[in-house]
Amino acid sequence: MATVDLKDVRKVYPGGVEAVKGVSIAIPDKALCVLVGPSGCGKSTLLRMIAGLETISDGTCAFDGKVVNTIGPTERDIAMVFQNYALYPHMKVYDNMAYGLRNRGTPKDEIDRRVRETAKILELSHLLDRRPRELSGGQRQRVAMGRAIVRQPKVFLFDEPLSNLDAKLRGQMRVEIKNLQRALGVTSVYVTHDQLEAMTLADILVVMNAGKVEQMGNPLDIYEQPASTFVASFIGAPPMNLLPITNGKFTDGSALSITAPAGATILGFRPEDADVTESAPKQGLTLPAKVEGVEPVGAESFLYCAAAGQRIVVRVSGRALHEIGAKLTVSAPLEKLHWFDKDGKRVG
């Protein structure tokens, strides 16, 4: 139970690499904050600074208003789930979970009660006598979770905990982590580069790029109002279509069917907000397009089209019956258009 406050946190590695360049995030009690961003943007570095595993070069990290910059990971009372689980290979599942409590001098019967309780929640009870190498990947992941939960820490930290699982298991664990985090009410920071995980888990979503926060807030707000082209193309799959415009014309010289707001040089719309029609609608954006590829995925299909001098993606529900080379019109309603200026910042 804690709030976590990062104020202008920086990290310069000994070699001179500036991995985190001034990040401020305020995480309220019981919230789950997800850090998302491309590889190398400094997510793990930031998480490890919160954990106390990495020194903070500048700025402050505070738990419950108390600055913890100089405090080690043990005293910060955090628990961490690692990407490769980092289970102690020579210890049984039971001891893996009990180790942290033993080091803190928790009484034996209390340890036993908590370990068994946690094992029950995570359906690990029958595995307590096994060693990590006798477990499947999913089970190891659960043990790693169990080791964190059993400690009842102030803050949970997750560094891409699901990235070693297959897609189905990942979906399952994602739901479970969310439910557990809600039920336990422990403030959590979760690092991932999977935007789906980020969208579904986050109370607060932080999109990072090159050591800085690009945008921060409610995940659906970020989805609907991306602050920059970077966020627009990072959140949502397939990514948002981004079309450069100059003086009301696309790069191939064709004219824009609507007027762009002042300063806008990039027009964006999401594949799921666009539609294909035979006849152009009265309002909104219309683009003549030619089908270049069709990707049916079951409940929906993705149409890859050439339009405005580049390739765009449109999502259509059900099975698309379009032939390759077919000519059609792509349309998107006005309120679903995103405009960005030449620096990639949102203008409307």
Partner 1 sequence: MAEPSKGHDKLMIGQSPTGIYIAHAILILGVIVVAFPIYYTFVASTHSLQTILRPPLPLLPGDRFIENYSEALFGGVGRIGGVPVWTLLFNTTVVALGIAIGKIIISILSAYAIVFFRFPLRMTFFWIIFITLMLPVEVRILPTYKVMVDLGLIDTYAGLIVPLIASATATLLFRQFFLTIPGELVEAARVDGAGPFRFFKDILLPLSRTNIAALFVILFIYGWTQYLWPLLVTNDNQMNTIVIALKKMVSFADADTEWHLVMVTAMLAIVPPILVVVLMQRWFVRGLVDTEK
* Residues contributing to the site for partner 1 (CB under 8 A): 48, 51, 53, 72-74, 78-80, 82-90, 99-100, 103-104, 131-133, 140, 147, 151
Q: Identify which of residues 43 and 142 has a Cβ nearer to Mg ion in the complex.
A: 43
- Indicate whether 157 belongs to the interface with ligand ATP (CB under 6 A): no
Cβ closest to partner 1, residue 11 vs residue 48: 48
Is-cis flag, bond preceding 238, omega within 30? yes
* Contact assessment for residue 67 and residue 4, using Cβ atoms and an 8 Å cutoff: no
Q: Is 55 an interacting residue with respect to ligand ATP (CB under 6 A)?
A: no
Q: Which does 17 bind (CB under 5 to 8 A by kind): Mg ion, partner 1, ligand ATP, none?
A: ligand ATP
CA distances for 99 relative to 95, 104, 151, 229, 246, angstroms: 6, 9, 10, 46, 63
* 41 in contact with ligand ATP (CB under 6 A): yes
Smallest distance from partner 1 to CB 84, Å? 6
Q: Which of Mg ion, partner 1, ligand ATP, none interacts with 99 (beta carbon under 5 to 8 A by kind)?
A: partner 1
What is the CB neighbour count within 10 angstroms for residue 103?
Answer: 9
Q: Which stretch binds ligand ATP (CB under 6 A): 40-48, 63-71, 262-270, 314-322?
A: 40-48
Residue 115 beta carbon to partner 1: minimum distance, rounded to whole angstroms: 13
Burial class (CB in 10 A: 0-12, 13-18, 19+), 283: exposed
Among 19, 41, 44, 339, binds Mg ion (CB under 5 A): 44
202 binds ligand ATP (CB under 6 A): no
- 205 bridge partner residues: 34, 217
Name the nearest CA neighbour of 73 among 98, 50, 101.
Answer: 50
Dihedrals phi, psi of 220, to nearest 5 degrees: -70, -35
Rg for the chain, CA atoms, rounded:
24
Query: Quick check: 272 and 315 in contact, CB under 8 A?
Result: yes
The residue number with the shortest CB distance to ligand ATP is 44
The residues that touch ligand ATP, with contacts defined as CB under 6 A, are 13, 15, 17, 19, 37, 39-45, 193
